[in-house]
Chains A and B, each alone.
Chain A
Protein backbone atom coordinates (compact mmCIF):
# COMPACT_ATOMS: atom_id res chain seq x y z
CA UNK A 1 0.00 0.00 0.00
CA UNK A 2 2.92 2.32 0.61
CA UNK A 3 3.88 1.64 -3.01
CA UNK A 4 0.41 2.63 -4.14
CA UNK A 5 0.52 5.87 -2.20
CA UNK A 6 3.85 6.86 -3.72
CA UNK A 7 2.54 6.19 -7.21
CA UNK A 8 -0.52 8.25 -6.50
CA UNK A 9 1.50 11.11 -5.08
CA UNK A 10 3.89 11.20 -8.02
CA UNK A 11 0.86 11.38 -10.25
CA UNK A 12 -0.56 14.23 -8.17
CA UNK A 13 2.71 16.13 -8.27
CA UNK A 14 2.74 15.97 -12.03
CA UNK A 15 -0.78 17.33 -12.29
CA UNK A 16 -0.13 20.21 -9.99
CA UNK A 17 2.40 21.65 -12.35
CA UNK A 18 -0.28 22.15 -15.01
CA UNK A 19 -2.38 23.97 -12.46
CA UNK A 20 -3.44 26.95 -14.47
CA UNK A 21 -5.29 24.91 -17.06
CA UNK A 22 -7.37 22.97 -14.54
CA UNK A 23 -11.00 22.98 -13.73
CA UNK A 24 -13.36 25.57 -12.32
CA UNK A 25 -12.17 27.75 -9.56
CA UNK A 26 -8.68 28.17 -10.87
CA UNK A 27 -9.57 31.18 -12.91
CA UNK A 28 -6.85 33.65 -13.67
CA UNK A 29 -9.45 36.00 -14.97
CA UNK A 30 -9.90 38.75 -12.40
CA UNK A 31 -13.62 39.19 -12.87
CA UNK A 32 -14.56 35.54 -13.23
CA UNK A 33 -16.94 35.30 -10.29
CA UNK A 34 -19.14 32.31 -10.48
CA UNK A 35 -20.26 29.12 -8.88
CA UNK A 36 -18.60 25.82 -9.32
CA UNK A 37 -19.23 24.56 -12.82
CA UNK A 38 -18.09 21.29 -14.22
CA UNK A 39 -14.77 21.50 -16.00
CA UNK A 40 -14.92 21.66 -19.77
CA UNK A 41 -14.10 18.53 -21.75
CA UNK A 42 -10.49 18.66 -22.76
CA UNK A 43 -9.24 20.36 -19.64
CA UNK A 44 -6.73 18.76 -17.33
CA UNK A 45 -7.98 16.71 -14.39
CA UNK A 46 -6.76 18.06 -11.07
CA UNK A 47 -6.11 14.84 -9.21
CA UNK A 48 -4.82 16.43 -6.03
CA UNK A 49 -7.71 18.84 -5.51
CA UNK A 50 -10.29 16.17 -6.19
CA UNK A 51 -8.67 13.63 -3.88
CA UNK A 52 -8.48 16.11 -1.02
CA UNK A 53 -12.02 17.28 -1.65
CA UNK A 54 -13.34 13.75 -1.37
CA UNK A 55 -11.55 12.82 1.82
CA UNK A 56 -12.41 16.07 3.57
CA UNK A 57 -15.33 16.64 5.88
CA UNK A 58 -18.33 18.54 4.52
CA UNK A 59 -21.42 20.31 5.77
CA UNK A 60 -23.59 18.61 3.17
CA UNK A 61 -24.06 14.89 2.86
CA UNK A 62 -23.34 13.99 -0.72
CA UNK A 63 -24.48 10.69 -2.15
CA UNK A 64 -22.94 10.76 -5.57
CA UNK A 65 -23.99 14.10 -7.09
CA UNK A 66 -26.99 14.48 -4.76
CA UNK A 67 -26.32 16.92 -1.92
CA UNK A 68 -28.35 16.76 1.26
CA UNK A 69 -28.29 19.62 3.76
CA UNK A 70 -27.07 19.08 7.28
CA UNK A 71 -27.57 21.23 10.38
CA UNK A 72 -25.02 23.96 10.97
CA UNK A 73 -23.99 25.08 14.43
CA UNK A 74 -21.32 27.69 14.55
CA UNK A 75 -20.04 30.09 17.14
CA UNK A 76 -18.15 33.24 16.31
CA UNK A 77 -16.84 35.33 19.20
CA UNK A 78 -18.54 38.68 18.67
CA UNK A 79 -21.45 37.32 16.65
CA UNK A 80 -22.65 34.58 18.95
CA UNK A 81 -24.16 31.24 18.12
CA UNK A 82 -25.92 30.32 14.90
CA UNK A 83 -28.09 27.26 14.39
CA UNK A 84 -29.58 26.62 10.98
CA UNK A 85 -29.86 24.04 8.26
CA UNK A 86 -27.35 24.36 5.48
CA UNK A 87 -30.25 24.49 3.04
CA UNK A 88 -30.32 28.23 3.85
CA UNK A 89 -27.31 28.44 1.62
CA UNK A 90 -29.49 27.51 -1.37
CA UNK A 91 -27.02 25.16 -2.94
CA UNK A 92 -27.92 23.15 -5.99
CA UNK A 93 -29.29 19.70 -5.20
CA UNK A 94 -27.23 18.14 -7.93
CA UNK A 95 -24.02 20.02 -7.84
CA UNK A 96 -20.85 20.57 -5.98
CA UNK A 97 -22.01 22.27 -2.83
CA UNK A 98 -21.58 25.93 -3.61
CA UNK A 99 -24.13 27.99 -1.76
CA UNK A 100 -25.86 30.72 -3.74
CA UNK A 101 -26.69 32.55 -0.53
CA UNK A 102 -24.70 33.68 2.41
CA UNK A 103 -26.27 33.59 5.87
CA UNK A 104 -24.99 35.67 8.77
CA UNK A 105 -21.64 35.97 7.04
CA UNK A 106 -21.34 32.19 6.66
CA UNK A 107 -21.09 30.70 3.18
CA UNK A 108 -21.04 27.20 1.80
CA UNK A 109 -18.12 26.80 -0.54
CA UNK A 110 -17.21 23.42 -1.96
CA UNK A 111 -19.50 21.73 0.54
CA UNK A 112 -17.77 23.16 3.62
CA UNK A 113 -18.77 25.98 5.91
CA UNK A 114 -16.66 29.09 5.58
CA UNK A 115 -16.99 32.59 6.89
CA UNK A 116 -16.39 36.10 5.73
CA UNK A 117 -14.34 37.81 8.40
CA UNK A 118 -15.08 41.22 7.01
CA UNK A 119 -17.39 43.43 9.06
CA UNK A 120 -18.43 45.28 5.92
CA UNK A 121 -20.33 42.23 4.72
CA UNK A 122 -24.02 42.31 5.71
CA UNK A 123 -25.61 39.88 8.14
CA UNK A 124 -28.76 37.91 7.37
CA UNK A 125 -29.58 36.07 4.22
CA UNK A 126 -27.99 37.70 1.17
CA UNK A 127 -27.61 36.40 -2.30
CA UNK A 128 -24.07 36.39 -3.57
CA UNK A 129 -22.73 36.52 -7.08
CA UNK A 130 -20.16 33.84 -6.87
CA UNK A 131 -16.80 32.68 -5.73
CA UNK A 132 -13.41 33.19 -7.17
CA UNK A 133 -10.01 31.90 -6.27
CA UNK A 134 -6.82 33.86 -6.30
CA UNK A 135 -3.30 32.63 -5.86
CA UNK A 136 -1.45 34.62 -3.28
CA UNK A 137 1.89 34.33 -1.60
CA UNK A 138 1.70 33.48 2.06
CA UNK A 139 4.94 32.98 3.97
CA UNK A 140 6.77 32.28 0.75
CA UNK A 141 4.42 29.57 -0.39
CA UNK A 142 1.76 30.12 -3.00
CA UNK A 143 -1.70 29.38 -1.65
CA UNK A 144 -5.13 29.58 -3.20
CA UNK A 145 -7.34 32.01 -1.33
CA UNK A 146 -11.05 32.04 -1.96
CA UNK A 147 -12.94 35.26 -2.40
CA UNK A 148 -16.63 35.89 -2.41
CA UNK A 149 -18.15 38.25 -4.96
CA UNK A 150 -21.05 40.37 -3.82
CA UNK A 151 -22.35 43.46 -5.54
CA UNK A 152 -19.16 43.92 -7.47
CA UNK A 153 -16.84 43.75 -4.49
CA UNK A 154 -14.74 40.85 -3.32
CA UNK A 155 -14.63 39.69 0.26
CA UNK A 156 -12.01 37.28 1.49
CA UNK A 157 -13.30 34.00 2.83
CA UNK A 158 -11.52 32.23 5.62
CA UNK A 159 -10.64 28.61 5.22
CA UNK A 160 -12.81 26.09 7.03
CA UNK A 161 -12.45 25.73 10.75
CA UNK A 162 -10.52 22.63 11.69
CA UNK A 163 -8.38 21.59 14.62
CA UNK A 164 -6.11 19.25 12.70
CA UNK A 165 -3.26 21.75 12.33
CA UNK A 166 -4.50 22.90 8.95
CA UNK A 167 -3.33 19.69 7.37
CA UNK A 168 -5.87 19.57 4.59
CA UNK A 169 -6.65 23.18 3.88
CA UNK A 170 -8.29 24.13 7.14
CA UNK A 171 -6.98 26.04 10.07
CA UNK A 172 -7.81 28.16 13.08
CA UNK A 173 -10.32 30.78 12.02
CA UNK A 174 -12.56 33.42 13.50
CA UNK A 175 -15.38 30.96 14.11
CA UNK A 176 -15.83 27.58 15.75
CA UNK A 177 -17.63 25.01 13.70
CA UNK A 178 -19.71 22.63 15.78
CA UNK A 179 -22.01 21.56 12.97
CA UNK A 180 -23.35 18.12 12.36
CA UNK A 181 -21.10 17.48 9.43
CA UNK A 182 -20.87 14.38 7.28
CA UNK A 183 -18.41 12.78 9.70
CA UNK A 184 -20.55 13.43 12.76
CA UNK A 185 -23.66 12.05 11.06
CA UNK A 186 -21.70 8.96 10.02
CA UNK A 187 -20.49 8.44 13.57
CA UNK A 188 -24.07 8.64 14.82
CA UNK A 189 -25.18 6.16 12.17
CA UNK A 190 -22.46 3.67 13.10
CA UNK A 191 -23.19 4.18 16.79
CA UNK A 192 -26.91 3.56 16.24
CA UNK A 193 -26.21 0.54 14.07
CA UNK A 194 -23.94 -1.12 16.61
CA UNK A 195 -26.20 -0.14 19.50
CA UNK A 196 -29.16 -1.94 17.96
CA UNK A 197 -27.07 -4.92 16.83
CA UNK A 198 -25.60 -5.47 20.26
CA UNK A 199 -28.95 -5.01 21.95
CA UNK A 200 -30.30 -7.73 19.69
CA UNK A 201 -27.36 -9.96 20.61
CA UNK A 202 -27.92 -9.40 24.33
CA UNK A 203 -31.57 -10.37 23.92
CA UNK A 204 -30.52 -13.48 22.01
CA UNK A 205 -28.18 -14.50 24.78
CA UNK A 206 -30.98 -14.13 27.34
CA UNK A 207 -33.46 -16.10 25.28
CA UNK A 208 -31.08 -18.81 24.17
CA UNK A 209 -29.34 -19.33 27.49
CA UNK A 210 -27.39 -22.57 27.28
CA UNK A 211 -28.25 -23.18 23.63
CA UNK A 212 -25.99 -22.80 20.62
CA UNK A 213 -25.81 -19.25 19.23
CA UNK A 214 -27.79 -18.39 16.14
CA UNK A 215 -27.95 -15.49 13.69
CA UNK A 216 -26.33 -12.17 14.51
CA UNK A 217 -25.22 -13.60 17.84
CA UNK A 218 -23.19 -16.31 16.14
CA UNK A 219 -21.64 -13.77 13.79
CA UNK A 220 -20.28 -11.54 16.51
CA UNK A 221 -19.42 -14.19 19.06
CA UNK A 222 -16.09 -15.28 17.47
CA UNK A 223 -14.98 -11.66 17.14
CA UNK A 224 -15.97 -10.94 20.74
CA UNK A 225 -14.16 -14.04 22.00
CA UNK A 226 -11.13 -13.17 19.89
CA UNK A 227 -10.81 -9.75 21.50
CA UNK A 228 -11.46 -11.25 24.92
CA UNK A 229 -9.05 -14.19 24.68
CA UNK A 230 -6.28 -12.90 22.44
CA UNK A 231 -6.21 -9.23 23.34
CA UNK A 232 -7.76 -8.56 26.74
CA UNK A 233 -6.75 -11.54 28.86
CA UNK A 234 -3.07 -11.87 27.83
CA UNK A 235 -2.35 -8.16 28.21
CA UNK A 236 -4.56 -7.12 31.09
CA UNK A 237 -3.94 -10.00 33.47
CA UNK A 238 -6.53 -10.64 36.15
CA UNK A 239 -8.32 -7.28 35.79
CA UNK A 240 -9.38 -7.86 32.22
CA UNK A 241 -13.10 -7.59 32.91
CA UNK A 242 -12.86 -3.94 33.88
CA UNK A 243 -11.32 -2.87 30.58
CA UNK A 244 -12.94 -5.29 28.16
CA UNK A 245 -15.91 -2.94 27.38
CA UNK A 246 -13.52 -0.14 26.45
CA UNK A 247 -11.45 -2.38 24.20
CA UNK A 248 -14.50 -3.83 22.51
CA UNK A 249 -16.02 -0.39 21.95
CA UNK A 250 -12.75 0.82 20.49
CA UNK A 251 -12.47 -2.15 18.17
CA UNK A 252 -16.02 -2.11 16.84
CA UNK A 253 -16.21 1.66 16.55
CA UNK A 254 -13.01 1.88 14.54
CA UNK A 255 -13.92 -1.15 12.45
CA UNK A 256 -17.39 0.19 11.70
CA UNK A 257 -16.08 3.64 10.76
CA UNK A 258 -13.32 2.17 8.58
CA UNK A 259 -15.78 0.00 6.71
CA UNK A 260 -18.33 2.81 6.37
CA UNK A 261 -15.72 4.95 4.64
CA UNK A 262 -15.12 2.23 2.12
CA UNK A 263 -18.66 2.18 0.72
CA UNK A 264 -18.32 4.02 -2.59
CA UNK A 265 -21.32 6.27 -2.87
CA UNK A 266 -22.50 6.97 0.66
CA UNK A 267 -20.77 10.27 0.54
CA UNK A 268 -17.41 8.61 1.00
CA UNK A 269 -17.60 9.59 4.65
CA UNK A 270 -13.95 9.31 5.50
CA UNK A 271 -14.39 9.41 9.28
CA UNK A 272 -11.34 7.61 10.66
CA UNK A 273 -9.24 9.34 8.05
CA UNK A 274 -9.80 12.53 9.99
CA UNK A 275 -7.12 13.59 12.46
CA UNK A 276 -9.68 14.96 14.87
CA UNK A 277 -11.50 11.64 15.26
CA UNK A 278 -8.37 9.56 15.77
CA UNK A 279 -7.00 12.23 18.09
CA UNK A 280 -10.02 11.86 20.35
CA UNK A 281 -9.70 8.07 20.40
CA UNK A 282 -6.02 8.37 21.27
CA UNK A 283 -6.82 10.91 24.01
CA UNK A 284 -9.33 8.49 25.55
CA UNK A 285 -6.67 5.77 25.55
CA UNK A 286 -4.17 8.17 27.11
CA UNK A 287 -6.60 9.20 29.85
CA UNK A 288 -7.63 5.64 30.68
CA UNK A 289 -4.03 4.43 30.72
CA UNK A 290 -2.76 7.12 33.02
CA UNK A 291 -5.71 7.29 35.39
CA UNK A 292 -5.32 3.59 36.07
CA UNK A 293 -1.58 3.76 36.44
CA UNK A 294 -0.31 2.04 39.55
CA UNK A 295 2.63 3.14 41.65
CA UNK A 296 4.85 0.56 39.92
CA UNK A 297 3.93 2.05 36.54
CA UNK A 298 4.77 5.61 37.51
CA UNK A 299 7.97 4.39 39.11
CA UNK A 300 8.97 2.69 35.90
CA UNK A 301 8.22 5.79 33.89
CA UNK A 302 9.65 8.50 36.09
CA UNK A 303 12.26 6.97 38.34
CA UNK A 304 13.03 3.47 37.22
CA UNK A 305 14.79 1.21 39.75
CA UNK A 306 18.14 -0.34 39.00
CA UNK A 307 19.59 2.45 36.86
CA UNK A 308 22.29 4.93 38.03
CA UNK A 309 20.79 8.29 39.02
CA UNK A 310 22.75 10.35 36.53
CA UNK A 311 21.61 8.41 33.49
CA UNK A 312 18.08 8.25 34.82
CA UNK A 313 17.65 11.98 35.33
CA UNK A 314 19.30 13.14 32.14
CA UNK A 315 18.42 10.60 29.51
CA UNK A 316 15.92 7.97 30.52
CA UNK A 317 13.30 9.96 32.40
CA UNK A 318 12.89 12.64 29.70
CA UNK A 319 12.70 9.90 27.07
CA UNK A 320 10.10 8.01 29.07
CA UNK A 321 8.02 11.16 29.59
CA UNK A 322 8.18 11.87 25.87
CA UNK A 323 7.21 8.28 25.24
CA UNK A 324 4.17 8.78 27.45
CA UNK A 325 2.83 11.27 24.91
CA UNK A 326 4.31 9.79 21.78
CA UNK A 327 2.60 6.43 22.21
CA UNK A 328 -0.97 7.75 21.87
CA UNK A 329 0.29 10.18 19.23
CA UNK A 330 1.50 7.30 17.08
CA UNK A 331 -1.79 5.50 17.66
CA UNK A 332 -3.56 8.52 16.24
CA UNK A 333 -1.24 8.92 13.27
CA UNK A 334 -1.11 5.24 12.39
CA UNK A 335 -4.87 4.87 12.02
CA UNK A 336 -5.25 8.22 10.28
CA UNK A 337 -2.41 7.63 7.83
CA UNK A 338 -3.47 4.10 6.90
CA UNK A 339 -7.07 4.99 6.16
CA UNK A 340 -6.35 8.29 4.42
CA UNK A 341 -3.59 6.78 2.31
CA UNK A 342 -5.92 4.04 1.14
CA UNK A 343 -8.65 6.53 0.25
CA UNK A 344 -6.25 8.76 -1.67
CA UNK A 345 -4.94 5.82 -3.67
CA UNK A 346 -8.44 4.63 -4.57
CA UNK A 347 -9.46 8.16 -5.55
CA UNK A 348 -6.34 8.56 -7.67
CA UNK A 349 -7.00 5.30 -9.46
CA UNK A 350 -10.55 6.33 -10.24
CA UNK A 351 -9.20 9.70 -11.33
CA UNK A 352 -7.15 7.85 -13.94
CA UNK A 353 -10.34 7.41 -15.92
CA UNK A 354 -10.91 11.15 -15.97
CA UNK A 355 -7.32 11.81 -16.79
CA UNK A 356 -7.17 9.45 -19.74
CA UNK A 357 -10.53 10.59 -20.99
CA UNK A 358 -9.41 14.20 -20.72
CA UNK A 359 -12.52 15.17 -18.81
CA UNK A 360 -14.92 13.81 -21.40
CA UNK A 361 -13.14 14.88 -24.54
CA UNK A 362 -12.01 11.40 -25.49
CA UNK A 363 -14.33 8.44 -24.97
CA UNK A 364 -11.75 5.93 -26.16
CA UNK A 365 -9.26 7.31 -23.70
CA UNK A 366 -11.79 7.06 -20.91
CA UNK A 367 -12.53 3.43 -21.79
CA UNK A 368 -8.84 2.66 -21.88
CA UNK A 369 -8.46 4.39 -18.54
CA UNK A 370 -11.33 2.32 -17.17
CA UNK A 371 -9.69 -0.89 -18.34
CA UNK A 372 -6.57 0.06 -16.44
CA UNK A 373 -8.21 1.68 -13.48
CA UNK A 374 -11.00 -0.73 -12.57
CA UNK A 375 -8.82 -3.80 -11.80
CA UNK A 376 -6.39 -1.60 -9.87
CA UNK A 377 -9.24 -0.04 -7.90
CA UNK A 378 -10.77 -3.42 -7.08
CA UNK A 379 -7.39 -4.68 -5.90
CA UNK A 380 -6.87 -1.56 -3.84
CA UNK A 381 -10.31 -1.83 -2.26
CA UNK A 382 -9.64 -5.45 -1.31
CA UNK A 383 -6.47 -4.33 0.44
CA UNK A 384 -8.44 -1.52 2.07
CA UNK A 385 -10.87 -4.08 3.49
CA UNK A 386 -7.95 -5.96 5.02
CA UNK A 387 -6.45 -2.74 6.32
CA UNK A 388 -9.75 -1.75 7.94
CA UNK A 389 -9.72 -4.91 10.06
CA UNK A 390 -6.00 -4.85 10.74
CA UNK A 391 -5.92 -1.21 11.83
CA UNK A 392 -8.87 -1.65 14.18
CA UNK A 393 -7.13 -4.72 15.65
CA UNK A 394 -3.76 -2.97 15.97
CA UNK A 395 -5.29 0.05 17.70
CA UNK A 396 -7.09 -2.21 20.14
CA UNK A 397 -4.12 -4.43 20.88
CA UNK A 398 -1.80 -1.48 21.44
CA UNK A 399 -4.36 0.17 23.72
CA UNK A 400 -4.60 -3.10 25.64
CA UNK A 401 -0.82 -3.31 25.87
CA UNK A 402 -0.52 0.26 27.21
CA UNK A 403 -3.30 -0.28 29.76
CA UNK A 404 -1.75 -3.60 30.75
CA UNK A 405 1.60 -1.94 31.34
CA UNK A 406 -0.11 0.65 33.53
CA UNK A 407 -2.01 -1.77 35.75
CA UNK A 408 0.76 -4.32 36.09
CA UNK A 409 1.57 -5.29 39.65
CA UNK A 410 5.07 -4.94 40.98
CA UNK A 411 6.89 -8.24 40.52
Chain B
Protein backbone atom coordinates (compact mmCIF):
# COMPACT_ATOMS: atom_id res chain seq x y z
CA UNK B 1 0.00 0.00 0.00
CA UNK B 2 1.49 3.29 -1.06
CA UNK B 3 0.58 6.81 -0.26
CA UNK B 4 0.65 8.77 2.90
CA UNK B 5 -1.60 8.90 5.89
CA UNK B 6 -2.36 12.52 5.11
CA UNK B 7 -4.81 11.30 2.49
CA UNK B 8 -6.68 9.35 5.17
CA UNK B 9 -6.76 12.46 7.35
CA UNK B 10 -8.14 14.45 4.46
CA UNK B 11 -10.87 11.88 3.91
CA UNK B 12 -11.85 12.12 7.58
CA UNK B 13 -12.06 15.90 7.31
CA UNK B 14 -14.39 15.53 4.34
CA UNK B 15 -16.63 13.23 6.38
CA UNK B 16 -16.99 16.03 8.92
CA UNK B 17 -17.80 18.55 6.21
CA UNK B 18 -20.31 16.19 4.62
CA UNK B 19 -22.15 15.59 7.87
CA UNK B 20 -22.13 19.28 8.80
CA UNK B 21 -23.37 20.60 5.49
CA UNK B 22 -25.87 17.76 5.27
CA UNK B 23 -27.36 18.77 8.60
CA UNK B 24 -27.50 22.44 7.61
CA UNK B 25 -29.24 21.53 4.38
CA UNK B 26 -31.68 19.15 6.05
CA UNK B 27 -32.75 21.68 8.65
CA UNK B 28 -33.08 24.34 5.97
CA UNK B 29 -35.36 22.07 3.93
CA UNK B 30 -37.50 21.43 6.99
CA UNK B 31 -37.71 25.14 7.72
CA UNK B 32 -38.74 25.91 4.15
CA UNK B 33 -41.39 23.23 4.33
CA UNK B 34 -42.77 24.74 7.49
CA UNK B 35 -42.80 28.30 6.18
CA UNK B 36 -42.48 28.50 2.39
CA UNK B 37 -42.67 32.29 2.24
CA UNK B 38 -39.35 32.60 4.13
CA UNK B 39 -37.44 30.79 1.38
CA UNK B 40 -35.20 33.77 0.57
CA UNK B 41 -34.00 34.37 4.13
CA UNK B 42 -33.50 30.69 4.81
CA UNK B 43 -31.56 30.13 1.60
CA UNK B 44 -29.18 33.02 2.28
CA UNK B 45 -28.44 31.84 5.81
CA UNK B 46 -28.05 28.25 4.70
CA UNK B 47 -25.40 29.20 2.15
CA UNK B 48 -23.55 31.29 4.74
CA UNK B 49 -23.50 28.42 7.25
CA UNK B 50 -22.42 25.92 4.61
CA UNK B 51 -19.51 28.18 3.67
CA UNK B 52 -18.39 28.41 7.30
CA UNK B 53 -18.55 24.64 7.82
CA UNK B 54 -16.75 24.02 4.54
CA UNK B 55 -14.12 26.57 5.58
CA UNK B 56 -13.24 24.45 8.60
CA UNK B 57 -12.95 21.30 6.50
CA UNK B 58 -10.80 23.05 3.92
CA UNK B 59 -8.43 24.30 6.61
CA UNK B 60 -7.94 20.64 7.58
CA UNK B 61 -7.28 19.80 3.94
CA UNK B 62 -4.64 22.50 3.62
CA UNK B 63 -2.88 21.24 6.73
CA UNK B 64 -2.87 17.76 5.19
CA UNK B 65 -1.27 19.24 2.06
CA UNK B 66 1.43 20.76 4.27
CA UNK B 67 2.19 17.46 5.89
CA UNK B 68 2.45 15.46 2.69
Chain B 42-59 interface mask (CB, 8 Å, partner A; 1/0): 001001100110110111
Closest B residue to A389 by CB, please name it: B47
CB distance from B7 to the nearest CB of A (A): 5
Q: B36: CB under 8 A from chain A?
A: no
Q: B64: CB under 8 A from chain A?
A: yes
Q: Please, which residues of chain B bring their CB within 8 A of the CB of A397?
A: 48
Closest B residue to A52 by CB, please name it: B65
B68 touches A13 (CB 8 A): yes
Q: A6: CB under 8 A from chain B?
A: yes
B61 touches A2 (CB 8 A): yes
B-side binding surface: helix, strand, loop or mixed?
helix
The complex places the Cα of A14 from the Cα of B2 at a distance, in Å, of 7
Give the interface segment out of A59-67, A111-119, A331-339. A331-339
Q: Which of A1-26 contact B (CB under 8 A)?
A: 1-3, 5-6, 9-10, 13-14, 17
A333 touches B52 (CB 8 A): no
The complex places the Cα of A263 from the Cα of B7 at a distance, in Å, of 29
Q: Which of A3, A6, A230, A397 has the most CB of B within 10 A?
A: A6
The complex places the Cα of A40 from the Cα of B59 at a distance, in Å, of 37
The complex places the Cα of A297 from the Cα of B62 at a distance, in Å, of 32
Q: B13: CB under 8 A from chain A?
A: yes
A330 touches B59 (CB 8 A): yes
Q: Which of B4, B48, B61 has the most CB of A within 10 A?
A: B61
CB distance from B2 to the nearest CB of A (A): 5
Q: What's the tally of chain B residues with a CB closer than 8 Å to chain A?
A: 27
A2 touches B7 (CB 8 A): no
Q: Which of B2, B3, B47, B65 has the most CB of A within 10 A?
A: B65
CB distance from A327 to the nearest CB of B (A): 12
Q: B24: CB under 8 A from chain A?
A: no
B7 touches A6 (CB 8 A): yes
The complex places the Cα of A230 from the Cα of B3 at a distance, in Å, of 46
CB distance from A208 to the nearest CB of B (A): 29
The complex places the Cα of A336 from the Cα of B59 at a distance, in Å, of 9
Q: Which of A17, A341, A391 contacts B51 (CB 8 A)?
A: A391
The complex places the Cα of A5 from the Cα of B60 at a distance, in Å, of 12
B14 touches A6 (CB 8 A): yes
Q: Please, which residues of chain B bring their CB within 8 A of the CB of A3?
A: 14, 18
A337 touches B4 (CB 8 A): no
Q: Which of B3, B55, B66 has the most CB of A within 10 A?
A: B55
Q: Which of A9, A338, A390 contacts B10 (CB 8 A)?
A: A9
A341 touches B7 (CB 8 A): no
Given A2-B18, A6-B14, A391-B51, do A13 and B58 touch, yes or no (CB 8 Å)? Answer: no
The complex places the Cα of A393 from the Cα of B55 at a distance, in Å, of 13
B7 touches A336 (CB 8 A): no
Q: Please, which residues of chain B bring their CB within 8 A of the CB of A334?
A: 51-52, 55, 58-59
The complex places the Cα of A338 from the Cα of B14 at a distance, in Å, of 13
Q: Which of B8-31 contact A (CB under 8 A)?
A: 10-11, 13-14, 17-18
Q: Which of A231-269 contact B (CB under 8 A)?
A: none
Closest B residue to A336 by CB, please name it: B62
Given A2-B13, A14-B2, A390-B47, do A9 and B58 touch, yes or no (CB 8 Å)? Answer: no
Q: Please, which residues of chain B bring their CB within 8 A of the CB of A14?
A: 2-3
Given A2-B54, A6-B14, A394-B51, do A333 and B3 touch, yes or no (CB 8 Å)? Answer: no
Closest B residue to A226 by CB, please name it: B44
A2 touches B3 (CB 8 A): no
The complex places the Cα of A366 from the Cα of B35 at a distance, in Å, of 51
Closest B residue to A5 by CB, please name it: B61
Q: Please, which residues of chain B bring their CB within 8 A of the CB of A230?
A: 44
Q: Please, which residues of chain A bring their CB within 8 A of the CB of B2?
A: 13-14, 17
12 contacts between A and B (CB under 8 A): A3-B14, A9-B7, A9-B65, A13-B7, A330-B59, A333-B58, A334-B52, A336-B62, A337-B59, A337-B61, A390-B51, A393-B48
Please name the 7 residue pairs, one residue from A and one from B, whose CB atoms are nearest each other, closest first. Answer: A337-B58, A334-B55, A2-B14, A13-B3, A394-B51, A2-B17, A17-B2
| Chain B interfacial positions (CB closer than 8 Å to A) | 2-4, 6-7, 10-11, 13-14, 17-18, 44, 47-48, 51-52, 54-55, 57-59, 61-62, 64-66, 68
Supply 15 further A-B pairs (C-beta < 8 A) apart from A2-B57, A5-B10: A2-B58, A6-B11, A6-B61, A14-B3, A167-B65, A333-B55, A333-B62, A334-B51, A334-B52, A336-B62, A337-B62, A340-B62, A341-B58, A391-B51, A394-B55
